[in-house]
Every structure is written in structure tokens, then in C-alpha cells.
Amino acid sequence: MSNTNDWPLWEVFIRSKQGLNHKHVGSLHAPDAEMAIKNARDVYTRRMEGISIWVVESVHMHASSPLEGEELYEPANDKIYRHPTFYDIPEEIGHM
Amino acid sequence: MSEEQLQRDFQSKLDAEIRIEPKDWMPDDYRKTLIRQISQHAHSEIVGMLPEGNWITRAPSLRRKVALIAKVQDEAGHGLYLYSAMETLGEPRSKAIDDLHSGKAKYSSIFNYPTLTWADMGAIGWLVDGAAIQNQVPLCRTSYGPYARAMVRVCKEESFHQRQGYEIMMELAKGTPAQKAMAQDALNRWWWPSLMMFGPPDKDSKHTAQSMAWKIKRHTNDELRQAFVDKTVPQGEFIGLTFPDKDLKWNEEKGHYDFGDINWDEFYNVIKGNGPCNKERIKARRAAKENGAWVRDAAAAYAKKKQNKSTEKAA
């Protein structure tokens, strides 16, 4: 039973300071969420790199496939009317 | 998409300096090379804790002791960043560790040398970490994203390691004649193994050409070694120490130091397992795993018990 395989893999997200998003920093193995947070504190925040930690078991992460990237993001490219520069505003108006 | 098309996409990403990420298609050999290199790198960090761990209880002051503990803890952290990067390639950490313990996987040969005196803590920080930094800074731009990001974290932390080592050497070098002699002896013993850390000369390095083409490696072994010598020799001279190499001298024309031949027989012999401490290092790693088994089992059992309780409550 003494195999680290028994400990699931967790993805670690750190908020570096108040007001910023949690950002993915890496992963680690731990028996449960509580230990995963404790380990994440030792592994990823030895120099005040964070003030908040999220952990999520890697099996619960779902990701888009890089191969379908083009189809997934392409439609946004030709919808230039979604951007402010698509609209002409006279210079006299100033910043809008 | 055809294999050929995937291969072309992969190459054009490399050409455009776009990082390869875990779910991107990559050639099998690229994956294998990365697993080998990143796991060796991780093992080196983990085994690298042992020569310095040897001196924690005997550090000469509290200041030195807290620095050494923090440095060794960083090395554990660096090993874990790297195992984490390696696992994104689909290689389980437990397998990599089994390979280390069975002797199948390699780690940096430098950690098979003993740490005989306190001055070795200075020499390791200054020279071994200095050489590691020389190797690792270009790896922050390596083509595989998770490896590059792990190296950025490592490099940020590594600079303190080298500075605390140089400070130890500096203090010993201006101490009593016996202390200065101790620093000189440490430099004499660690200099050549540090130069070997960059690996075999380019003409004999079987991995360099392919790794450069894949942009895993950014500079050849000889380039990195030369840069390290150029940087380090003035640092040693500044504190009044000498280098154990009669051929070492500044070459005005080249703008580099010339240095003597490296004993590559010694290097290969240590890699093959015949260095002064190879057996001791692996024995210590195996013992750490076996002696800690009950803790891991207990933590797993406790996690399971808690989970069972919460499902009971829910039911």
C-alpha cells in the first residue's frame, strides 16, 4: 500500500496578492485536499509568493484540445464589429 | 491531421519560438528526451540535498544554519517543481523514483563526492550552484512550457544559494591560516567536478545536437563550461584563492580563459556508479522512502476514513 500512486495528483493555483486571479503554478501529490494545501504552501510559497491557495484533483480538470483550437477561436477573428475601433467617431469628440 | 502535418506544425512552433504545451502533439523522441532530462534534473535536486544535509547539525553559527536549512529545503522544492513538469508528459512520478532507486536513472555526478569539511558548503554553493545557474538560466527559454516555467521558479531561488556559498568562502579566506587552507582545499576538490557538471565535450555529447535542434538546450556543453570558467576565476582570485589548474590563464586574443584538460575517465567512472558516494546516496534515498512508508500509509488511511465519514453523513 506504500506506493505514492495511492496519493492522487492535485493541480495548484495561487493568488499572489489580494485583487489578482489565482494562477496555475504546478502540481503535487497528496492524500487529501487539506494535505494538498499544506504541501502546496511548502512547495510553492516559500517566499511569500501567495496569500491564497486553491487545489483541485487533476482528474477533475477538463481541457480543450489544442488541435481544435482554430475552429474554437476562429469565429471571434472575423467579428471585428465587436471591437471599439470598428466605429468611426470624430476627433473633436475626444476620447470615448 | 496527418503525422507529416503534425510534424510540420510542431517544427513551425519551434521555429517561431512558441512553447510546446502538454496537450500539444509532439514527436515521441522529443517526449522521451524531455522525460529523461527533466527526471534526471529532478533526481539531481533530490540527491543534491544529501551532501549538504550532512552539515546542517554542524553549521558554525545560527546564521549559517538557517541559510543551509533553507537551501536544502529549496532543493526539495526544485525537485518537486521538476517532477511536476515531468508528469505533464505522462510519466508517473513513482516510476521515475523507482528508476532512480534501481540505478536505471542518472543524476548529476557531482553529488557523488563527499562533503569533508565545512568549507565544502561554501564551495558547493559557489561552484556547484554557480555551474547549475549557468546551465539553468538558458533553460528558462527551453521549448517545453512546463519545464521552462519550472526553471524560472528555480532560477529565482538559486541566486541566494550561490551568494551564501561565496560568502562562506570569502569569510574563510580572510580567516586564520587554517581556515584559509580549508577553503583552498575545498576549492581544489570541487573545481574539476564542477567543470564536469556541464557534461562531456561537444564532440562526444550524444544528445546535444538533437536537443539544440528541438530548442530544449540553448547552448552546448562547452559554451556553458567556458562561460562558467570566465565568470568564476575572477571571483576566486578576488578572495585570494588559487585554482588547481596550471594551464588556467587569460587568453587576451580569445577574450576567454584557457584551461587544462578535464579527466573524463573520472567523469564516466562516477557516472557508471563508481564515485566515492554513489552507493551511499542511493541507499539514503531508498531508506528515506522505506522509512517514510508508514507516514504515507497513515495519511492515506486517514484521508479515506474522512471521506467515508462524509459520505455516511450525506447518505
Interface of A with B (CB under 8 A): 1-7, 9, 25-29, 31-32, 35, 42-44, 46-47, 63, 65-67
Share of chain A above pLDDT 70, in %: 92
Q: Are the CB atoms for B107 and B100 separated by under 8 Å?
A: yes
Is residue A48 situated within a structural domain? yes
pTM: 0.93
Whether residue A2 has pLDDT greater than 70: no
Q: What total of structural domains would you count in chain A?
A: 1
Q: Are the CB atoms for B190 and B113 separated by under 8 Å?
A: yes
Place B224 in a pLDDT band, splitting at 50, 70 and 90. very high
Say what the pLDDT of residue B58 is.
Answer: 96
Task: Write the CATH number for A52.
Answer: 3.10.20.520
B107-114 average pLDDT score: 97
CB contact under 8 A, A31 and B74: no
CB contact under 8 A, A4 and B94: yes
Is residue A96 situated within a structural domain? no
Outline where chain B has alpha helix (H).
3-15, 28-47, 49-53, 62-87, 93-102, 119-123, 129-139, 145-173, 177-196, 208-213, 221-238, 264-269, 278-291, 293-314
d(CA A15, CA B178): 50
Tell me whether residue B190 is exposed, middle or buried, using C-beta atoms within 10 angstroms of its C-beta: 0 to 12, 13 to 18, 19 or more.
buried
Taking the CA atoms of chain A, what radius of gyration do you get in angstroms? 21
Residue A24 structural domain: 4-64
Whether residue A75 has pLDDT greater than 80: no
d(CA B9, CA B297): 45
d(CA B104, CA B273): 11
- Kindly report the nearest CA distance between residue A79 and chain B, in angstroms: 26
Overall residue count recorded for chain B in this entry: 315
Judge whether B150 is closer than 8 Å to chain A, CB to CB. yes
Burial per residue of B7-18, b for 16 or more beta-carbon CB atoms within 10 angstroms, e otherwise: eeebeebbeeee
Considering only CB atoms, which chain A residues are within 8 Å of B306?
Answer: 32
Is residue A84 situated within a structural domain? no
Say what the pLDDT of residue A64 is.
Answer: 86
Whether residue A65 has pLDDT greater than 90: no
d(CA B191, CA B213): 31
Is residue A81 situated within a structural domain? no
Judge whether B160 is closer than 8 Å to chain A, CB to CB. no
